[in-house]
Amino acid sequence: MSAEYAKNAHGQVSILAVEPNEIDDLVAIHTAALKTDQFSNLMLLNREEGAHQNLMRKSILHWLSNSSSTKLFKAESDQKKPDESKASEASSDPKSNKERTRSEKDTPRDPARVLGGIMHRDMTSWESRHLEGEKYAILQALARDPPYQGQGIATKLIQQGVEDVDSQNLACWIHASPSSYRLYEKAGFQEIGKSEYDLGEWAPGRTGDKLCWEVYTFRNFVWNSVDLEGGDVYNCLLADQFEVVVSHQSQLYESNDEFISNPTASFLVHLTTSIILYFTSLTCLSLTAIEDWRLQARLGRKRGRGLEPFRFFPKEHAIFVTRATGLAAGAYVMALPLIMPTDDVIAQVCLRIPTFFYACKCWDLTIARARKPPVPRDGKDAVVYGLTSWRPVASYVWRLASETRYASFDIAVDESKRKGIPKSAAWSYGPLLVVPLTYLFPITELKVMCGLLAIQYGLEGIHFIFHPRCPNELFFQPWAAESFSSFWAIHWHHGAQPFLQHLGYVPARALFTRLFGQDVGKATGVLAAFSLSGIWHAWCGVVLTLDEYAWTQAVGLWGVFMVQESVTEPLLDPGNCLSNDTVVWPAARILYTLQTAMLQT
């Protein structure tokens, strides 16, 4: 491997391959570097003198004897005192890792050695969870001679390992100690999990010297991901999408070029095509997230010095393919009710509600958010990626498709306002009495309430099927709302909030803020969100009338919705519509802003 050179306070430093005659120097450096490491000291308690040196010497000899799968690097200054790092390419197959594992039969019985076994099982569990079935590299045994710490030498070694891994399009795994994990963060590695151990609980004779030991944390990092170089994956996905669309059109026609007369068969073909396109678009989004991760890692390594223009092309290519597939997928989903094999009004409404929702959800994720894809979170709200193989990519796609409010992503809907409201069984289950009352007294008001209940429990049921482990319910006691504002902002479902914001509020606010200022921009943005919601309601309600009145019905429903949300509430609650921290009722805010401007002039 060619050498890489750098300057530091001690002179010239070169990154070179390790030679067999340098084993003793490397063992001495590794031993000196781990003198203050508590986990290593605990593992060496009650061991014979020189145990660590003997183990490292055997390991280095084994690595050197496997040059086809293992590479060792050293950082050598003009004082000729080497640091060393080992980058090992390994398979996740346990049979290929026998050299760095120990069978349960050989594990000693003292507590410290038991802890070592537990740590090893935890490490391999994290490793297999994210990289099982993949070919990847392991970067380990990084050690620095104490006099040379803080000079950037370890960073150079890590960069050398990363460049070697990148050249082979491999993922990379690291099991980092508390003293080294910052180096990997700065190099662009992504933390995917950690394991903590109270060393005082495992030290022999721990009753007397427990205070000498601390909680020790191992962190697990990954680098790189699925091979996406050259854009071949994106080109294949785009070609597959085109093939699916063409195949869909050909399936709708028989050999004599006549359209399939069976409407059910036509509908099933369209439904299958819609599902394939939908998940293809979300897969493209997950690959865009990977490209964004890689780009941010490269920018982090450059430390503000900029990248070559061609480095941005893979992400731009991924964004283009994601938006193209998402646009087609949303259009196919939206068109499903138009070819439904029945004209039953109830069936049409029940299909139009979810298809409009999932079409807008698809456009929100794949078009509006493609440049900054959603990032998965762990249970402690810490941002993690973990998209290291097709298994977590599949999990990423399924969670995006099934979660309505993205509880496990960094774009999760804020539901903090619900926490301060006590739950009441009367408000949760009492409204169900409307159903028997509607049967006994079928008046219009009760029918409307019964319809709202059907929407509430229907959507809640769909949400439970696709996201049974969601920590929050979709609806929150909607019948207990004190006003229209609290009804929409707190109590009604928040499933539509993400796409109402990014397909309605954000673009309208950006445009009108540039034209008329911030206040009008905010108000117009909220008005656009309500308008999109009104279109949704009009799209679902238009089937309730005759065809010749369809447009009148649709425009009327949209107008009623807009008047209700934008004009009626300010008259009932004028103090809320002029809140400084948020613009809840846009019509009143626009009128208020224009009136203020006229008075000032």
CA-to-CA distance for 277 and 364, rounded, in angstroms? 15
Q: How confident is the model at residue 356 (pLDDT cuts 50, 70, 90)?
A: very high
Domains with residue ranges and CATH for the chain? 4-223 (3.40.630.30), 230-413 (no CATH)
Percentage of residues of the chain with pLDDT beyond 70: 71
pTM of the entire structure?
Answer: 0.61
pLDDT score of 18: 82
Dump the DSSP string for 394-437: HHHHHHHHH-SS-TTBTT----HHHHTS---HHHHHGGGGHHHH
- Please check the confidence at residue 592 and state whether its pLDDT lies above 50: no
- Please check the confidence at residue 68 and state whether its pLDDT lies above 80: no
Report which DSSP code applies to 376: B
pLDDT in tens, 132-173: 767 788 888 888 878 777 777 788 888 888 878 777 777 788
**Secondary structure class of 145 (helix, strand, coil):** coil
Helix orientation angle between 51-65 and 23-33, rounded to the nearest 10 degrees? 130
Do residues 295 and 357 make contact, with C-beta atoms less than 8 angstroms apart? Answer: no
Q: How confident is the model at residue 366 (pLDDT cuts 50, 70, 90)?
A: very high
C-alpha neighbours within 13 Å on the C-beta side of residue 181: 17
pLDDT in tens, 245-288: 666 555 555 444 455 567 787 788 888 888 988 998 998 898 88
Which of 291-305, 333-347, 430-444 shows the lowest mean pLDDT across its residues? 291-305
CA-to-CA distance for 138 and 120, rounded, in angstroms? 15
pLDDT score of 327: 92
Instruction: Please state, rounded to an integer, the average pLDDT across all residues of the chain.
Output: 74
Higher per-residue pLDDT: 594 or 135: 135
Do residues 347 and 313 make contact, with C-beta atoms less than 8 angstroms apart? Answer: no
CA-to-CA distance for 12 and 32, rounded, in angstroms? 23
Q: How confident is the model at residue 205 (pLDDT cuts 50, 70, 90)?
A: low
Q: How confident is the model at residue 184 (pLDDT cuts 50, 70, 90)?
A: confident
Q: How confident is the model at residue 581 (pLDDT cuts 50, 70, 90)?
A: very low
Higher per-residue pLDDT: 53 or 91: 53
Dump the DSSP string for 237-264: HHHHHHHHHHHHHHHTB-TTSPBPS-HH
C-alpha neighbours within 13 Å on the C-beta side of residue 174: 30
- Please check the confidence at residue 370 and state whether its pLDDT lies above 60: yes
Q: Reduced to 3 DSSP states, what percent helix, strand and coil does the chain have, rounded to the nearest 5?
A: 65, 10, 25
pLDDT score of 441: 86
pLDDT in tens, 212-248: 788 888 888 887 544 444 455 666 666 666 666 666 5
Q: How confident is the model at residue 330 (pLDDT cuts 50, 70, 90)?
A: very high
- Please check the confidence at residue 454 and state whether its pLDDT lies above 60: yes
Mean pLDDT of the 511-517 span:
89
pLDDT score of 507: 92
Higher per-residue pLDDT: 552 or 336: 336
CA-to-CA distance for 598 and 308, rounded, in angstroms? 51
Mean pLDDT of the 533-537 span:
84
pLDDT score of 576: 44
Query: Bridge-partner residues for 17, per DSSP?
Result: 73
